[in-house]
Chains A and B, each alone.
Chain A
Amino acid sequence: MRASRPFASLALAALLFALFVGAWQLSASGRPQVGAAVDPEYAALVGAAAATGGQTPFPAPVEIGARILWHLADPFYVRGTNDQGIGIQLAYSLGRVLAGYLLAAAVAIPLGFVIGMSPLLYGALNPFIQVLRPVSPLAWMPLALYTIKDSALSSIFVIFICSIWPMLLNTAFGVASVRKEWLNVARTLECGPVRTAFRVILPAAAPTIMTGMRISIGIAWLVIVAAEMLVGGTGIGYFVWNQWNNLSLADIITAILVIGLVGMVLDQLLAIATRAVSYQD
């Protein structure tokens, strides 16, 4: 169904994009120019638009395109703490996401394994998980700032806490629902607990675990923007906030597109990994 007419879908997508951008450009170019005589000295001080009482207009696609090209021309420049290339900002965000995410995986997968193996532990820990899971990860931010006393580490902690739950629950579920007959095969072959865990339970649960990891990376990428808006300093979230303060909407739209593209790439990478470990029963 999806792959049956890829060119037709692609052409329609291009057409819709062209229509949307075209309409936007047309409406933007029809905008009346606010023009009133003001004192040129005043205008030089506060900016021409502000001097005439006008608002910064919403950028037209052409202006945004120009900004995107400008960012892409030199994405890794550093001109002081508040003026760094969008590539640098992305790298900061990706670094934090990966650090928090990998830490979460290192905790959630072994812990989920143990919980999945033991119905007793599953029952004992489930209430805690169910209460903590729906909490917005940003609610942890003040606690993290208070205890860790480092804003960069705190944002990593927030990523950690938001990506741990899907991985934990999916690992526990995947491990708990390994087919009894596969475990019986391992038992009749006198497999030790370690061999059973790595050769039978892990491959059997791997697709479920990977699904959890895919959900987690999506959530982590959502949360990092908000977290960096709060803690500031570096990162794509801070970049968005900084451009809001500059009232540079074209830069914000550029960042939105970049965030979306990076999120898609992360998701697709995990989708490929999921496909690699999945099996047909």
Chain B
Amino acid sequence: MRRPFVSVEGIARRFPGVAGAAPLTVFENLWFGIEEGEFVCLIGHSGCGKTTVLNILAGLDSPSDGAVVVAGREIDGPSLDRAVIFQSHALLPWLTAEQNIAFAVRSRHPEWSRARVAEECRRWIELVGLAAAAAKKPAQLSGGMKQRVGIARALSVHPKILLMDEPFSALDALTRGALQEEVNRIVDETKRTALMITHDVDEAILLADRILMMTNGPNAKIAEVVVNTLPRPRRRQDLHHLPGYYALRNHIIDFLVDRSRLLAATMPKGWDPRCVPEVRPAVAA
């Protein structure tokens, strides 16, 4: 069997029970793949272990069982090839916006001269539209600007995979929209492989090629994979005019409202964790 670019193979995460309680299995036997250049979203309710999955892919956490194989090699710890955009932006508050990016650039290219690093930082600062705020500390930046720096920092190391943990959930609706467009544009242009965790159905529809639907935890499973067949390039403002948009959206919302809970109790007959069924609600409509 051909392996996808990122291959998650039967990973589990268990936490030891507190004070003699049975160990808590957040998820187990989780299988999925991400093709090169593909944008995959992971949707599920809080507590189903989405962030744990992302941390395992990032190498910040390790699975209790199973393995993650990227480009044919099992991952073992964090890597510059797998950049993370953190939910809380995680900028270093004693550095300016530019220095935060420089920290990442220097990690990728320790041999670069000061001038070369500064030039590269300038490029990324301008790409995310922060030229005027380059010399400001994170405390002086708005939430949206901080996350822009976080995005620039993640992209500036030229990662093979971009991992995003609800990067826009702490932002107001307008800023979130603008940043989604920006990420959409950058990912479209650079054909970056990406995995994003989100709660936002429209965000997933705008950005994702495929959406992994997780049931409620503990013992969360990927119940199905929704293939987003809406044509690219997608634009936020005319997304809802596309045929099939509502079928797709309703399917995801129905899953989150009811099926994520019902499926957590009993999976349908013939459901195979290693070969999760794919559905195309937008085509069926």
Contact = CB atoms under 8 A, between A and B. Distances in A.
B90 interface: yes
A181 B90 contact: yes
Interface in A236-281: 277, 279-281
B72 interface: no
B93 A200 contact: no
A18 B149 CA distance: 57
Contact of B137 (A181, A185, A191, A279): A279
Interface in A180-216: 181-182, 184-185, 187-191, 199-200, 203-204, 206
Contacts of A277: 94
A206 to B, nearest CB: 8
Contacts of B79: 188, 190
B131 interface: no
Interface size class of B (residues with CB under 8 A): 20 to 34
Interface string A74-95: 0000000000000000000000
A188 B139 contact: no
A199 B92 CA distance: 10
A279 B140 CA distance: 11
A279 B93 contact: yes
Contacts of A181: 86, 88, 90
Contact of B84 (A184, A199, A200, A280): A184
Interface string B78-121: 11101110101010111100000001100110000000000000
24 contacts: A181-B86, A182-B90, A184-B78, A184-B84, A184-B86, A184-B90, A185-B90, A185-B92, A187-B78, A188-B79, A188-B83, A189-B104, A189-B107, A189-B157, A190-B80, A199-B103, A203-B94, A203-B95, A204-B92, A204-B94, A277-B94, A279-B137, A279-B139, A281-B139
B60 A188 contact: yes
Nearest to B91: A185
B133 to A, nearest CB: 15
B242 to A, nearest CB: 35
A281 B94 CA distance: 8
A198 B59 CA distance: 23
Given A188-B78, A188-B84, A190-B80, A280 B104 contact: no
A199 to B, nearest CB: 7
Contacts of A280: 93, 137, 139
Contact of B94 (A185, A189, A190, A279): A279
Contact of B103 (A184, A189, A279): A189
A195 to B, nearest CB: 8
Contacts of B107: 189-191
